[in-house]
Amino acid sequence: MTGLTASYVTLHGAGFTDPARTPFAARAAAAARAGFTGLGVQFADLAAHGGVGAVRTVAADAGLAVTEAEFLGGWALAESVAAPSDAEVTLAEAARAWGPLRVTSGEFAAGPADPGRAADRLAELAARLAPLGVTLAVEAFAWGALCDYPAALDVVRRSGAPNAGVMIDIWHWFATGADAAVLHDIDAREVVGVQLNDGPRVRPDDPDMLRKARSTRLLPGRGELPVRALVAELRNLGYTGPWSVEVNDPWFRALPVDEAARQAFASATAVLNG
């Protein structure tokens, strides 16, 4: 099994949109003790923990790499991305300090997006960030302008960007209506990351989708979703990683950070080891 990354929300100890309850140094130490090799960050969280340089030092001292960052959005509906956004400026600074970085990307706002224009915007961003070793990992959200994985994949393909692909978040994969059959049209090289989690079954038209997305992201193997079957299908495609864990529900985020890290690592490892 390749190394595991703890995505930002998994150990920050608060709700999806809330400031972190757990300091970055405590997250890094807990992740390393649990067995993670990588840690995810959120751009908005960096300033509260000393900025890019300080976060890199803390992670390195714990024996971890910062491998995943979030979130680069707004581009799928934008008329232009000629002027870098604040998130892109921070991302560029981080990539220069940390090296190769996987960045979750997409569109939270409702659409639909014009696939050709969205692909052009993605291509511009990807070209600008490629020299820094940035890979753009595009997610689909049922409420957003890229509302399912075929739409996200279409935009990635139209962009022609070698450093862009899809991020398969297992919760969102099933919530947007995808199943294992969708993978039959995907090349393993088009998947640039997989976020492991679980949850209840949710329909794409569920009116309570956003709340459920932010409060029912369970440990992999602890919900109703066929997580192991999807992992097996991905491996049949030839996908070997990277893997990360993105978990956040009220019970889990109330745990002490060491216990949260231990359970996240153990659950993900059990799923990946079959």
Nearest Cα to 169, choosing from 40, 48, 30? 40
Alpha-carbon distance of 132 to 113, in angstroms, equals 27
**For 116-168, how does the pLDDT look when each residue is reduced to its tens digit (9 = 90+)?**
999 999 999 999 999 999 999 999 999 999 999 999 999 999 999 999 999 99
Which domains are delineated in the chain? 4-273 (3.20.20.150)
> Nearest CA to 245 among 1, 2, 6?
6
Residue ranges in 143-192 assigned as alpha helix (H): 149-159, 170-175
Q: Which residues make beta-bridge pairs with 40?
A: 68
**Residue 223 CB partners (closer than 8 Å, separation 6+):** 198, 199, 200, 216
* The predicted structure's pLDDT at residue 1: 52
Condensed to tens digits (0 to 9), the pLDDT of residues 174-209 reads: 999 998 888 988 999 999 999 999 999 999 999 999
pLDDT band for 244, please (50, 70, 90 cuts): very high
Q: How is the chain split among helix, strand and coil, in percent rounded to 5?
A: 45, 15, 35
- Amino acid 131 reads P
Q: At residue 217, what is the residue type?
A: R
pTM for the whole thing? 0.96
